[in-house]
Structure 1
Amino acid sequence: MSSSKKDRRRTPPPDPEPLPGLIDAHTHLAACGGRTAEDVRAILDHAEAVGVSQVVTVADDMVDARWAVAAAHWDARAFAAVGLHPTHAADLDDAARAELEEMSGDERVVAIGETGLDYYWTTRSYDCADPAVQRDAFAWHIDLAKRTGKALMIHNREADRDLLDVLAAEGSPETVVMHCFSGDRAIAAECVDRNYYLSFSGTVTFGNSDELRAAADITPAELMLVETDAPFLTPHPYRGQPNQSYCVPYTARVLAAVKGLDEQETARILGANARRAYSLPLR
């Protein structure tokens, strides 16, 4: 890789024009460098300056879950989701179950997850949990969400049919968030029929994402969320550069264009949807 490309990959995108009312429905503050209260505050100050007033920070593993809950207590603008990413499903032993149950009762925890199925990494990573283990862990997380009354945050990678079948068999919680929705319009339509929220990340802005934009087009505005999945999936034209919650307006503006809606109204709707999905306090 040339030095100019390396430099670009290290350079954060410029600040977007502010778009008030937005909420980052899924980010990873610890992976963005938010491992102290001061660092979290700096990330959220940056986001708030462009209109992103609150974020939900999400866990991949037990260490991340502890970071997420801590961050949510460090700053009133942050809320946490706790759970084990499907690739780490084999870590769901009795101790992990007990700790996640305890965390789920925290008032700053607003969702269970990210959980679900990931078939992409089963053939690419030696330590990825196999599909049967993933399904068992997924079912446990579904039950925890139902018992706590909190949103279920779904991770789905190359497992559309099986994932929807598990949700149907187990019975969905009242609120299901399809994080970083990546399906086609048929999968989107099925999720809409089930009243799931579809959360769109920077991938919807990519040049090769026509089918994903078609899925967004058929999703009712009241079931749409916007997220970064930071530090990953930075919106076009900054793909590959570091992502943070302040980049949400780039994706929100693309969603507004897809839906043929005013940008300010779209931000208001997306923010209201996130507050409803996660039972967040008004700001």
Structure 2
Amino acid sequence: MTTDRAMRDTDRMERPAPPAPEPLPRPVLDSHVHLDIVGSDGAGASPEAQVEAARAVGVDRLVQVGIDVESSRWGITVAEKNPAVVATVALHPNDGPRLADLDAALAEISAMAEHERCRGIGETGLDFFRTTGPAELAAQERSFRAHIAIAKRVGKPLVIHDRDAHADVLRVLDDEGAPETVVLHCFSGDADFAAECVRRGYVLSFAGTVTFKNAVGLREAARLTPLTQLLVETDAPFLTPTPHRGAPNASYLIPLTMRALAEVKEVPLADLCDAISATGDRVFGPWP
């Protein structure tokens, strides 16, 4: 997630929803979406409407991502009701420094992490874009380390938010010892950082940003990422892919990013769908 609820781009939410793209030849997942804050101008306000719009274009599985106690609890509830959805739970890096009782919130996340429909711990990590001082940095890092411990305790993948913090994310993971599965959500690094993450066995998830005209370095990172370590996501309602950049995003727009990735990887679209689908099941599955 690129921002929190207090920083939503309401202008984007009010723009018309893009039309549905051509369906994918094989089913694939959206590995990172915020169904609770996708605008009603997108695939519809209800999770059920968003799931159906996605399914119509070949996106048959969604990972609903938590950013605080409330959204984490909400995601599990939705996943219990909808077999196409699984959830992750976490405190977003920007939220940790603002909490009056970080330990209490972490305890709630830890308890929810044991739920069967919770399939990942995240999005957690470090965000230096809006960090204002050492106290915030310390709170973010403490929260990140706690999430790593939770992921290792419950044996579930760690979903990382990394904004302007590449080296420090790796430092903390090295200090704590990374969980068996680590996903770099909305990968934003260059080819060198991608190569380091690939070497460590991490999974890189690419969002609509890979379609942006100026994202040359990001496409280079995607090009060198093995298919077995590649995921695709929307981060909806943010990061809408070209040609609809600036409009509200939703899971049904995944085919646009998939086609861009297939071109970058120089592989048939159907083969890319199969590879990413298999990685999604390995990381988060099985879906019922």
Question: Shared fold (TM-score greater than 0.5)?
Answer: yes
Are residues 1:18 and 2:23 paired?
A: yes
Select the residue among 171, 174, 183 that pairs with 2:180. Answer: 174
Aligned to 1:39: 46
TM-score (norm 2): 0.90
The secondary structure found in structure 2 opposite 1:122 is: coil
> Number of residue pairs matched?
272
- Which digits, 9 at most, give the CA deviation of each residue in 1:124-150, with x for residues without a partner? xx9x97111111110000010000000
Are residues 1:67 and 2:90 paired?
A: no
The secondary structure found in structure 2 opposite 1:180 is: coil
Are residues 1:254 and 2:263 paired?
A: no
Q: Could you tell me how far apart the structure 2 residues matched to 1:28 and 1:101 are?
A: 20
The secondary structure found in structure 2 opposite 1:71 is: helix
Instruction: In structure 2, give the amino acid aligned to 1:17.
Output: E
Which runs of structure 1 show a deviation greater than 4 angstroms over 4 or more consecutive aligned residues? 6-9
Select the residue among 116, 119, 127 that pairs with 2:128. Answer: 119
Q: Could you tell me how far apart the structure 2 residues matched to 1:164 and 1:137 are?
A: 15
Q: Could you tell me how far apart the structure 1 residues matched to 2:235 and 2:30 are?
A: 9
The secondary structure found in structure 1 opposite 2:126 is: strand
Aligned to 2:162: 156
Deviation at 1:94, TM superposition (A): 3.1
Q: Is the 8 A contact 1:82 1:113 kept in 2?
A: yes
TM-score (norm 1): 0.92
Select the residue among 223, 226, 241 that pairs with 1:235. Answer: 241
Q: Could you tell me how far apart the structure 2 residues matched to 1:86 and 1:162 are?
A: 13
Q: Could you tell me how far apart the structure 1 residues matched to 2:12 and 2:213 are?
A: 23
Deviation at 1:8, TM superposition (A): 9.9
Select the residue among 219, 223, 227 that pairs with 2:225. Answer: 219
Q: Which runs of 5+ in 1 are unaligned?
A: 1-5
Aligned to 1:50: 57
Q: Is the 8 A contact 2:87 2:117 kept in 1?
A: yes
Q: Could you tell me how far apart the structure 2 residues matched to 1:74 and 1:234 are?
A: 27
Q: Could you tell me how far apart the structure 1 residues matched to 2:12 and 2:68 are?
A: 30
Q: Could you tell me how far apart the structure 2 residues matched to 1:23 and 1:168 are?
A: 29
Are residues 1:78 and 2:85 paired?
A: yes
The secondary structure found in structure 2 opposite 1:130 is: helix
Deviation at 1:38, TM superposition (A): 8.3
Select the residue among 94, 101, 108 that pairs with 1:87. Answer: 94
Q: Could you tell me how far apart the structure 2 residues matched to 1:277 and 1:8 are?
A: 31
- Which digits, 9 at most, give the CA deviation of each residue in 1:207-244, with x for residues without a partner? 01000000000101110000000000000010010100
Q: Is the 8 A contact 2:39 2:248 kept in 1?
A: no
Are residues 1:263 and 2:276 paired?
A: no
Indicate how the Cα distance of structure 1 residues 202 and 9 shifts in structure 2: closer, same or farther if over 3 A, else same. farther
Q: Could you tell me how far apart the structure 2 residues matched to 1:182 and 1:258 are?
A: 16
The secondary structure found in structure 2 opposite 1:276 is: helix
- Which digits, 9 at most, give the CA deviation of each residue in 1:140-169, with x for residues without a partner? 000100000000000000001011111111
Q: Is the 8 A contact 2:12 2:248 kept in 1?
A: no
Deviation at 1:121, TM superposition (A): 1.2
- Which digits, 9 at most, give the CA deviation of each residue in 1:48-68, with x for residues without a partner? 010000100111111111211
Aligned to 2:7: none
Indicate how the Cα distance of structure 1 residues 243 and 201 shifts in structure 2: closer, same or farther if over 3 A, else same. same
Instruction: In structure 1, give the amino acid aligned to 2:72.
Output: A
Deviation at 1:33, TM superposition (A): 4.7
Deviation at 1:31, TM superposition (A): 0.5
